[in-house]
Structure 1
Amino acid sequence: MKKWRPFASIPEQYTGLKEVINKQAEVPQPLLIEEQMEQINFTLIEALYTNHQVYLTYYKNGQRITETGFIQFVDSLGNLFVFIDEVFELKNKMRLSELINVRFA
């Protein structure tokens, strides 16, 4: 005996509904002023040399994501930095332009 599932009859509905819900949850990427970008850069460099744990808030695919980790490498001219995720201890390369906020844990 099969249970009647009215919304599972067309699998394409799930994909379409998921896309609509994800589009509604998207936020625009915030624009940072020069002072904020300098403060982020100084905090990154300080965290690199002191090996302090930081909270990184960055923008990716229409969402703000906050992770905890350690800074391993900063290249201001190349617009790149590398941090090690606290949870999985994975190296993540990211552009400085994606960062929204950096603060010490």
Structure 2
Amino acid sequence: MKKWRPFATMPEQYIELKEVINKQLEVDQPVLTEEQMEQINFTLIEAFHTNKQVYLTYYKKGQCITEKGFIQFVDFLGNLFVFIDEVFELKNKMKLSELIDARFM
């Protein structure tokens, strides 16, 4: 795709080429085993109760994203959790099903 970058002189072409490149970088959401899900749950609970910072890896729009943050709320019945990211200190509400990995620093 690098060889096509010089031809992206018009904004419309650049937007379309960027979309093509992004679609090629998309990955399927990993399927977690029961043991991996239990480990993530234990990590979330411990991080919530001890207020430890964690690395969270989640799947969003074809990408696996990793962020550092603090767990503020976990609702296993409602399938969601809230974490505060380290960079902007914003609250992020996310589904537990999107979570791929949770590890302590």
**TM value normalised by structure 2:** 0.91
Aligned-pair identity in percent equals 78
Runs of 4+ in 1 over 3 A off after TM superposition: none
Q: Does 1:82 align with 2:82?
A: yes
Q: Does 1:40 align with 2:40?
A: yes
Q: Which letter maps to 2:86?
A: E
1:84 shift after superposition: 0.5
Aligned residues: 100
1:11 shift after superposition: 2.4
Counterpart-to-counterpart distance in 2, 1:6 and 1:46 = 52
Question: Any idea what the Cα deviations from partners look like across 1:52-99, whole Å, max 9, x if unmatched?
Answer: 000000000111100000000000010000000111110000000001
- Unaligned stretches of 5+ in structure 2? 1-5
1:34 shift after superposition: 1.1
- Across the aligned residues of Structure 1 and Structure 2, the Cα RMSD in angstroms comes to 1.2
- Unaligned stretches of 5+ in structure 1? none
In structure 1, the partner of 2:102 is: 102
Counterpart-to-counterpart distance in 1, 2:30 and 2:104 = 21
SS in 2 for 1:81: strand
Equivalent pair of 2:83/2:93 in contact (CA under 8 Å): yes
Question: Any idea what the Cα deviations from partners look like across 1:18-59, whole Å, max 9, x if unmatched?
Answer: 110000111110000111111101110010000000000000
